Amino acid sequence: MLGKLRNLLIAFSLLTFVAGCSTSAEPEVINTPEVEVAAIPEEPAIPEKRTLNDGVFSEAQASAGQYVYDNSCKTCHDMRFYRGVLRSWANQPLIDFWYSILGEMPADNPGSLSDNEYTEVIAYILSENGFPAGDTELDPNNGMEQISIVAP
């Protein structure tokens, strides 16, 4: 009787052992570290901290932004409005300002412009508020969280 039970137990644990083997044989666990390793080389590409005074948008972006501004923003607030807005956003990352405008403006149709157009209109607003253009393009996918807003 006991011998039978023991045989049964052995058979059962053998079964679970086999089952365990077949699932752990799948490569899912092995893949995870590879993904992490692949992400590491991107780190040196992250630009250093900058502010709006460091030429964070191009001249071309600012002039393209004027077109967007005239067509989509001008009707509701004038340029003076943005001085106060930028002041209230001082020390915050420019990417947060970008997302805020993308999510809320134009107030009558939020999110209706392309990512590029939002970026260009911000370049124009910055330019009109006295911030310098530079050699690098403003890009929401590249280092904009490292750019601090400063009061105009």
DSSP string, 33-47: HHHHHHHGGGGGGSP
DSSP string, 54-65: G--S-HHHHHHH
| Integer angstrom CA distances of residue 93 from 10, 57, 90, 124 | 63, 15, 9, 18
Query: What is the closest distance, in whole angstroms, from the C-beta atom of residue 74 to ligand HEC in the complex?
Result: 8
Query: What is the closest distance, in whole angstroms, from the C-beta atom of residue 131 to ligand HEC in the complex?
Result: 15
Residue of 85, 93, 136, 140 interacting with ligand HEC (CB under 6 A)? 85
User: What's phi and psi for 110, nearest 5 deg?
Assistant: -60, 140
Task: Classify residue 85 by burial, with Cβ atoms within 10 Å: 0-12, 13-18, 19+.
Answer: middle
Per-position x/- string for 47-66, each x denoting binding to ligand HEC as judged by CB under 6 A, each - no binding:
--------------------
Residue of 7, 92, 100, 114 interacting with ligand HEC (CB under 6 A)? 100
Per-position x/- string for 6-25, each x denoting binding to ligand HEC as judged by CB under 6 A, each - no binding:
--------------------
User: What's phi and psi for 86, nearest 5 deg?
Assistant: -60, -40
Per-position x/- string for 64-83, each x denoting binding to ligand HEC as judged by CB under 6 A, each - no binding:
--------xx-xxx------
Give residues in contact with ligand HEC (CB under 6 A): 72-73, 75-77, 85, 100-101, 105-108, 121
